[in-house]
Structure 1
Amino acid sequence: MLAAAAGAIKERGMTLRAVVRVPGSYEKPLATKRLLQRDDVDAVVVLGIIEHGETAHGRVMGQSVSDALVNMQLEFMKPIGVGIIGPEVFPTQIQPRLVGHAVAAVAAVEVMLIGAESPYEV
């Protein structure tokens, strides 16, 4: 996912300022907030996978992380492209989604940063 996102960033003429790796999805909001506080960061792309588990933990995690990211986007007025596959994704569903989710997260940031043509109508 990182290689696909980095390639999409370069193709769009944007600059990748930092790559931060965290152990899991619960740690993504704090890492994201730290990046958003930087003056040299205009946006953040968050990548990851929340697999299907035996309990509701993944759904709870997905909702918590999603809520935190949306709230930070509004707090800092900087876009966050979310390229998290899942929750509830099965291992066989991951590989076909890796590149698409990463590129879509970068494209979302691009639309919010520079007003690029969006494939969506409002």
Structure 2
Amino acid sequence: MPKIKPDSESSLKGKKVAVVAAKWNSFVTDEMLEGAVSALKAKGIEEDDIISMRCPGSFELPLASKYCIDHLKADAVVAIGAVIRGGTPHFDYVCDAVTRGITDLNMKSGVPVAFGVLTTDTVEQATERAGMEKGNKGAEAALSAIEMLLLKEAMKHEGS
């Protein structure tokens, strides 16, 4: 059975990647956005091919990501948000909606949409995961988007 091996980063030339970050909890998402853009550049995505934008909150990430796919023709999207538990069930509804929305968008569009949404119990947990102390989860999501984009490209070539 043939083994599909993603091409190197050289096959990323000209690929457009959108990074959509929620404005809500921007003290966390700002760091994650910076980490994502830095990771994309480090993997060879040209600055002109990185589109970064903001949406109101994590709940809006699936639709904002869809806009990037439909209108900007993004080859991949990195969705960044931070949902921090409060004293009401709102946390559960937002986490469920954004997870379901991004999952559905991946399956329906076929475009990699990386899940860079923190779902934490405390502000401290969120800030740790947005900085370098426990790894920047925005950067990790960007790397995941790149890996999926490379896998998709490898499968295109395998089938031809």
1:90 maps to which of 122, 137, 156:
122
1:26 maps to which of 59, 84, 87:
59
2:43 maps to which of 4, 9, 12:
12
The answer as to whether partners of 2:58 and 2:80 remain within 8 angstroms in 1 is no
Aligned length: 114
Which residue in the other structure is 1:114 paired with? Answer: 150
The answer as to whether partners of 1:17 and 1:41 remain within 8 angstroms in 2 is no
* Distance in structure 2 (CA, Å) of the matches to 1:27 and 1:113: 23
Which residue in the other structure is 1:118 paired with? Answer: none
* Distance in structure 2 (CA, Å) of the matches to 1:33 and 1:39: 9
Deviations 1:59-117 (A, max 9, x none): 1111111101110111110101111111x4301111210142111101111111113xx
Which residue in the other structure is 2:95 paired with? Answer: 62
Amino acid at match of 1:101: K
The residue matched to 2:53 in structure 1 has which SS? Answer: coil
* Distance in structure 1 (CA, Å) of the matches to 2:147 and 2:58: 25
Note the C-alpha offset of 1:8: 0.1
1:2 maps to which of 30, 33, 51:
33
Note the C-alpha offset of 1:14: 1.9
- RMSD across aligned positions (CA): 1.5
In our comparison, the structure showing a higher alpha carbon Rg is 2
**2:109 pairs with 1:73:** no
Amino acid at match of 1:109: A
Which residue in the other structure is 1:120 paired with? Answer: none
Alignment identity in percent?
27
Which residue in the other structure is 2:23 paired with? Answer: none
Unaligned residue ranges in structure 1 (runs of 5+): 116-122
Amino acid at match of 2:116: G
The residue matched to 1:18 in structure 2 has which SS? Answer: strand
